[in-house]
Amino acid sequence: MRKVTFDTETSNLFQDVGSNDPSKLALSVVCIHDSETDSYASFMEEDLKKLWPILEKTDLLIGFNSDHFDIPLLNKYYPGDLTKIKSLDLLKEVRASLGRRIKLDDLAEATLGKKKLGHGLEAIVWWKNGEKDKVVKYCLEDVKITKEIYEYARARKHLKYREGNVVKEIPLDPSGWENLPEQTLTHTLPL
């Protein structure tokens, strides 16, 4: 099974575009981990044509808030339909179990003992200041954390978060996460 863990960053804010629709935002970078090559990569807007063939052969897209944010944003640039590829949104899984959202940073700290390099608003400022390498590094680190959170949840059937000084577990059922539909062909682009 080919899994791509991914994250996107934007170069602007919802208030800049007067909408809460992620597809109205402008992509600065998308970063991935490809399980087939066990490698990380980053793609600026001008490089997206190199990303599409990878996604076309992906069985599972893994992200955090990806169904609500990253996929609609990327779909704006994609000539096919990314919603045709099976996706796992870890935030959606957490919310379904816990009844509320938990930040990736909070999950990473309680579950993995590590913190993110920053937050999305900082990445927009870095981008506007021309610090593109810093944005890529930040996005790649978010992909690494998302991948580790996914692997932890699959192996242990829970994630952790902190409520005050108490670390609590969020029970998760990963049994169907990697089940593929009968038809696994995800191609929507002519190859």
CATH number of the domain at 51, please. Answer: 3.30.420.10
Residue written as token pair 């980053």: 42
Question: Could you tell me the two tokens for 11?
Answer: 């170069």
φ/ψ of residue 86, rounded to 5: -60, 135
49 within domain boundaries: yes
186 within domain boundaries: no
- Cα–Cα distance for residue pair 104/81, rounded to 1 Å: 26
Low-confidence ranges of the chain (pLDDT < 70): 182-191
List all residues 6 or more positions away from 22 whose beta carbon is below 8 Å from its beta carbon.
68, 69, 70, 72, 73
Identify the pLDDT of residue 182.
Answer: 65
185 within domain boundaries: no
> What residue type is assigned to position 126 of the chain?
W
How far is CA 30 from each of CA 38, 109, 145, rounded to the nearest angstrom?
A: 17, 23, 15
Identify the pLDDT of residue 188.
Answer: 55
156 within domain boundaries: yes
Quick: pLDDT tens for 75-91. 999 999 999 999 999 99
Quick: pLDDT tens for 131-145. 999 999 999 999 999
The number of domains in the chain is: 1
DSSP string, 128-144: HTT-HHHHHHHHHHHHH
How long is the chain? 191
How far is CA 159 from each of CA 140, 146, 168, rounded to the nearest angstrom?
A: 21, 12, 8
79 within domain boundaries: yes
150 within domain boundaries: yes
Question: Which residue segment(s) compose the domain that 19 sits in?
Answer: 3-176
- Cα–Cα distance for residue pair 52/182, rounded to 1 Å: 23
188 within domain boundaries: no
- Cα–Cα distance for residue pair 33/39, rounded to 1 Å: 6
182 within domain boundaries: no
> What residue type is assigned to position 96 of the chain?
A
